[in-house]
Amino acid sequence: MNTILISGAASGIGAATAKLFHQRGWRVGLIDLNPEPLAALSAELGGAWQRALDVTDAEAVTAAVREFADTHDGHLRLLFNCAGILRFGRFEDISLAEHNRIIAINVQGVLNCCYAALPYLKRTPGAQVLNMGSASGLYGVPQMASYSASKFAVRGLTEALELEWRELGIRVADLMPPFVRTPMVASQTFEPPVLRRLGVTLVAEDIARAAWRQAQSGGVHRPIGAMFRAMYWSGQLSPPAINRWVMAWLSR
C-alpha cells in the first residue's frame, strides 16, 4: 500500500496534492497547523489520518510521523514537505520575528519532518522525500529575501540528502514552481515587481500533478511552468552575472 504524509495539507498545494493522491488510491496522512480546515479535508477524503501541529515542534512532529507510519506497519512511501509561509515586502518593513518564523517553518520544519520520517522511509521500498522548493531558490529575489533564503536552504538540503540517502534506497527531490495562485499568495498586501512581471499562471492543482509525476520518476529538481523551466535550464548554463542581471530586470 502506497502512503504519503503531507505537511501543510489543509489548503493550497498540500490540499490539492492530498486529493489527487487519494483519488489515485494512496493512503494519505495530513499535517497542518490549522485544525478546522484540516478536519474538513480529512472528512472529504473519507476520514484520512490527520494531526494538527506546528512543524517547528520537533517532538510533536516525531510523535505524529510515528503514529502515521505505525498504522501502515511502520512504512512510509512518500514524505511531502509542503508546509511553508511567505511574506512579500522590503526587508526592513518585515519584523525580525516574521523573518525568523519564515526560516523556522520553511527550513526547520523540513528538517524536523525528514529526521522523524527517516526510520520509516528506510523500511519502505521505493521511499521518497519530496520538498516544496521554489523558483526563488534559483537566484535571490528582492522583496522576498527571507523566503528566498529559506528556499535556497531547501534546495541545498535536497541536493545533500539526495546523495547521502541513495545508499539507503531513498530518493530525495524538490518541486520548483514560480508563483502559484494559492491563499498564501492571495493574502499578501505587497506586490513585488517580479510578481507583476511574471504574473501568476499556475494553480495548486498544477503543482499536485507535478508531485504525482515526481513520485513516479527520478531527478532531483523539478522546475514547473514553461517560462521558469526555460529560466532554470538557461541558468544552469549561464554565468552567475547573467542570472543576477535577469533578476535585477524582473525586479525593477
**Do the beta carbons of residue 127 and residue 78 sit within 8 Å?**
yes
Q: In a 3-state reduction of DSSP, which class is residue 144? A: coil
Query: And the C-alpha cell for 156?
Result: 541545498
Helix ranges restricted to H, the chain: 12-23, 35-44, 58-70, 96-103, 109-122, 145-164, 183-186, 193-198, 204-215, 226-237, 240-250
Sign of CA dihedral 43, 44, 47, 50: negative
Q: In a 3-state reduction of DSSP, which class is residue 72? A: coil
The DSSP letter of residue 192 is -
| Catalytically annotated residue among 120, 139, 147, 232 | 147
Q: What's the start-to-end Cα distance of the chain, in Å?
A: 50
Cα gap 181→124, rounded to integer Å: 34
In Å, what is the CA distance from 220 to each residue of 14, 55, 82, 207, 247? 20, 23, 16, 16, 23
Whether residue 120 lies in the annotated active site: no
Neighbours of 212 (CB within 10 A): 17
Query: And the C-alpha cell for 140?
Result: 535571490
- For the annotated catalytic residues, the residue numbers are 147
